[in-house]
Structure 1
Amino acid sequence: MVNAIPTEVEPLVEALNDLLVRLDGALQAQRVFVADAAHELRTPLTALKLQIQVQVARRDHAKLSDEDLLRKLEDRVNRAIHLVQQLLTLAREDAEASARAGNADLRRVATQVVGELSVLAEHKGIDIGLECTGPAAMESPIVVNGDETSLTTMVTNLVDNAIRYSPPGGQVDVRLCTNDAEVTLEVVDNGPGIPAADLERVLDRFYRAGNTTGQGSGLGLAIAAKVAAKHHAGFSVLNRTDGQGLKVSVSGLRRAPVDNPAVAARSSSVSLEPGWRTHT
C-alpha cells in the first residue's frame, strides 16, 4: 500500500517532479544536439581530409594548380570554422533561459551589422539598405530592453542569411519599424524564398530547405528564433506576397527610455558607411 504524501510536502514533491521532468528533457535535447553537431562537423572535416589527400597525391600526378587546391582547402576550412562558431553561439544561447537584463540601441546594432556585412554584400553585387520607419523613427537611439550581445547575434544571423541566399545583384532590406512601445525588426530579401512544404521545419536546427544551394549551416534562423524567444518577441518566416523572396520578422521588442547618457553617446557616434542605403 502506497503511503499518502503529507499535505505539507505536496508542493515540494510536485516541484521536484517538475524539475526531474525538465532535467530529463534538457538531457535528451543535449544528446540530440551533440549527435547532430557531430554529424554536421563530420561532413566538412571529411571533405577537408580528402582535399588534403588530393594535395599529397598530386605530387606525382599534378592535375590541379596550387591555387585551385588552396582555394578549395580554404573554403572547407571556412565552412568548418563557421559551423563551429554557430554551434558555440547556439550553446551559449541555450545555456541562458532568459535574456540578460539591460538595454540595447537597436538602430546602432543594425547599423554596425549592416556596415560589417556590406563587404559580403558588395562581393555579390547585392544592394543592402537600412530603413527606420514609424512615429519615433527620427529619434537617434531606438533603445529596447534586452541583451545587446544576443540581439547583435540575432541581427547578424538574419542579415548574413539573407545575403547568402540572395542572388548576385539582389537586394536586402533591414527595417526597424517603431512605435511608442515596441520595435519590429524585418529582414527582407529577393532570394528564392522557402518552399511551402519546408516552412514548418525551417527553424529546426541543421535543417536546410530543399532549394538552397549555399554553404550555410542550417543554424542561422534557429539561433535568431532562440534569441527572439528569450526577449519575449514574436518570430515569423514568410515568403513575400509581392514576389520572390523571404521576409523574417521579429516583433514586439519592448522599447526602453533613453535615460542612460552612455547609450545616447554611443548612438550618436555611429557613422554611416558608404556603399549601402539608409534612410528614415
Structure 2
Amino acid sequence: MISSLRLRLLLWLLIPLTLYIGVSAWLAYLSARDTADLIQDRALSTSAQVIAGQLGWIDGSLHVSVPPAALELFASPDRDEVYYQVITEHGRLLAGIPDFPFAAPFSAAAPTYRNAVLGGQPIRVAKTIRTMYDSGVPHRVAILVGQTRRGHDRMLAELWRPSLHRQVAMLALTVLLAVIGLTMELRPIIRLKDDVAGRDPMELAPIRAGDLHLELRPVVDAINLCIQRLHTQVAAQKRFIADAAHQLRTPLTLLDTQIQFATQLDDRAAVADVLDAMHNSSRSMIDLTNKLLLLAQAEAANTAALLRQPVDLVAVSAAVLEELAALAQRRDIDLGLEADPSPVWVTGNAGLFSALVMNLVDNAIRYIPSGGKVTVSTHRRGQAAELVVLDNGPGIGAEARARVFERFYRHAAPGQEGTGLGLAIVKEIVAASQGAIELAAGPGGIGLAVCVRLPLAAPSNRGT
C-alpha cells in the first residue's frame, strides 16, 4: 500500500486524467481515420465516375476507354497502386483486371465503399453502377476503382499524431505542475511536523496554525487539545508532588526529631512516651499519605483515566455508614441513613464514590460535639441522584464555605485532627462525575448540610 500522501494525491489526479487523455486520443484517432477515409473515398468515387463517363456503344457493343485523367487523381509521393475494373452485369470484362476482390452488387445504384485485400496488400475500393440503354433495353455496368492504403495511412498519421503529441505533452505538464504544486502546498504540513518533532518534551505551549490550510487546522486544534490535556495532567502531577513534599516534610522532621530524642533517653517510661508520640506521628503521616494518594486518584478520574461503571449510591452509603458505625459509637454520635428503597444508579468509580461519602461522614463525625447527630440521605430527585450529609454541629460560616474546598485549608478548632484534604478530595470526585456540591446551614440555621447532586446513569448502563 502506498504510504506517501504526495504520491497518493498525484495518483488520484493522474488516473482520471490519463483515462480522459486515452479516451480523447482514441476519439481523435477515429475522427482522423474518418477524415482520411472520406478524402480517399471521394478520390476513388471521382475516378469511377470519370471512367463511367467514357462508356459507349460501338457497333452494338459496349466499350470503354480509361483516360489518364481518371488515374492521375491518385498521384502522390506515397506511390500507391491503383486498380480498376469495368464489368457488365453478365460478367463481360470491359477493362481492368479480371481478379478484382470485390464482387459488384448490381442492385445498388449509389456509390459504395469497402476495404479489401489484393496481392497481399490492403486496398480501399469504390464502386459505382451506370445503366446503358440499347434500343430501350437497360444494361448495367459496374465500375470499381481500388487504391492501396499507404497515402491514407500517412494522412491518418498526419491528422492524428499532432493531437496525440499535444495531449501527451499536456499530461506531462500536468504531472510536473502537480508535483510542484503538491510540494509547495505540503510545506506547511512539513513545517508542522518539524515544529512538533523539534519540541522539548516538556514544552506544552499550543502549536500555531500559521499558514496551514483550512482543512488541516482541525488537526492542529486536536493536537492543541491534547497538549492542553497533557498540560493539565502535568500541572496536577506537579501540584501533587509539591503538596506531598510540603505536607510530608513536617511529620517526617518531627518523627526524626523524636527518634533522636528517644536515643538520648535512659528512662524507660520517658522512652515509652516518646514511642507513643512517634506512633501518633506515624499514624498521622499514613493518614496524610492515604489522603494524598486518594486526591491523586480523584484528579485522575477528573481526566477520564479511570474506568466508569454503574454504581448504586444507596449501597455505597450503607457500606460506608456500616464501616464508620464503630467510630460514631465511640464518639456517642447518632449516625443514620435515609434512602430510597430501590437502587439509585450513578456512573463512576465505586471506590471514589465510597471515598466521597466516607470523607463527608467522617468530617461530620469528627467535627461535631459528642452526643450529636449525623444523617445521610440518598434519594433520586428527577434526573439526578442527591446525597445529603446533615449534622447538628457548629457548622461552617458563610464566609468560609468557599475556602473549605481548598487543599490543606482546615476550618477546625485547635487540637482537632485533620489533614485539610477531605473536602478537596470530595470536590475532585464530584467534578469528575459531572456533578455539583453545595454547602448550606442545617434546619433552623443549626449544623451543616452538604448536598451532592450527581447525574443518574442511563437506563442501559444501570446494574441489575
TM-score, normalised to structure 2, is: 0.50
Larger Cα-atom Rg: 2
In 2 relative to 1, CA 5–258 (structure 1 residues): closer, same or farther, beyond 3 Å? closer
SS in structure 1 of the partner of residue 379 of structure 2: strand
In 2 relative to 1, CA 239–43 (structure 1 residues): closer, same or farther, beyond 3 Å? farther
Unaligned stretches of 5+ in structure 1?
265-280
Aligned residue runs from structure 1 range 175-194, under 5 A: 175-179=377-381, 181-194=383-396
Aligned to 1:138: 341
- The alpha-carbon deviation at position 104 of structure 1 amounts to 1.5
SS in structure 2 of the partner of residue 197 of structure 1: coil
Of structures 1 and 2, the one with the larger relative CO (CA 8 A, separation 6+) is 1
Letter in 2 for 1:194: I
Distance in 2 (CA, whole Å) between partners of 1:174 and 1:5 is 56
In 2 relative to 1, CA 25–145 (structure 1 residues): closer, same or farther, beyond 3 Å? closer
- The alpha-carbon deviation at position 80 of structure 1 amounts to 0.6
Letter in 2 for 1:81: I
Letter in 1 for 2:219: L
- The alpha-carbon deviation at position 81 of structure 1 amounts to 0.5
Aligned to 2:371: 169
In 2 relative to 1, CA 33–259 (structure 1 residues): closer, same or farther, beyond 3 Å? closer
SS in structure 2 of the partner of residue 164 of structure 1: helix
In 2 relative to 1, CA 212–142 (structure 1 residues): closer, same or farther, beyond 3 Å? farther
In 2 relative to 1, CA 240–168 (structure 1 residues): closer, same or farther, beyond 3 Å? same
- The alpha-carbon deviation at position 84 of structure 1 amounts to 0.7
* Structure with greater strand percent: 2
Match of 2:225 among 18, 29, 39: 18
- The alpha-carbon deviation at position 210 of structure 1 amounts to 6.0
- The alpha-carbon deviation at position 150 of structure 1 amounts to 1.7
CA contact (8 A) 2:299 2:429 kept: no
Match of 2:278 among 63, 73, 76: 73
Distance in 2 (CA, whole Å) between partners of 1:254 and 1:3 is 44
Cα distance per residue 1:178-216 (max 9 Å; x no partner): 245332001112233223332212111222226464221
Letter in 2 for 1:53: Q
Aligned residue runs from structure 1 range 17-56, under 5 A: 17-56=224-263
Aligned residue runs from structure 1 range 177-256, under 5 A: 177-179=379-381, 181-209=383-411, 211=413, 213-240=415-442, 242-255=444-457
Letter in 1 for 2:349: D
Distance in 1 (CA, whole Å) between partners of 2:344 and 2:433 is 16
CA contact (8 A) 1:195 1:211 kept: no
Distance in 1 (CA, whole Å) between partners of 2:233 and 2:454 is 27
Aligned to 1:270: none
Distance in 1 (CA, whole Å) between partners of 2:363 and 2:213 is 55
What is the aligned-residue identity percentage?
A: 37
In 2 relative to 1, CA 115–41 (structure 1 residues): closer, same or farther, beyond 3 Å? same
Distance in 2 (CA, whole Å) between partners of 1:239 and 1:83 is 28
Aligned to 1:268: none
CA contact (8 A) 2:347 2:456 kept: yes
CA contact (8 A) 1:175 1:187 kept: yes
Deviation larger for 113-122 or 169-178 = 169-178
In 2 relative to 1, CA 239–37 (structure 1 residues): closer, same or farther, beyond 3 Å? farther
Distance in 2 (CA, whole Å) between partners of 1:249 and 1:3 is 48
SS in structure 2 of the partner of residue 36 of structure 1: helix
CA contact (8 A) 2:236 2:299 kept: no
In 2 relative to 1, CA 92–194 (structure 1 residues): closer, same or farther, beyond 3 Å? same
Aligned to 1:273: none
- The alpha-carbon deviation at position 40 of structure 1 amounts to 0.8
- The alpha-carbon deviation at position 239 of structure 1 amounts to 3.4
Unaligned stretches of 5+ in structure 2?
1-208
Distance in 2 (CA, whole Å) between partners of 1:179 and 1:24 is 37
Distance in 1 (CA, whole Å) between partners of 2:262 and 2:388 is 45
> How many residues are matched?
254
Distance in 2 (CA, whole Å) between partners of 1:170 and 1:258 is 41
In 2 relative to 1, CA 244–78 (structure 1 residues): closer, same or farther, beyond 3 Å? farther
CA contact (8 A) 1:101 1:147 kept: yes
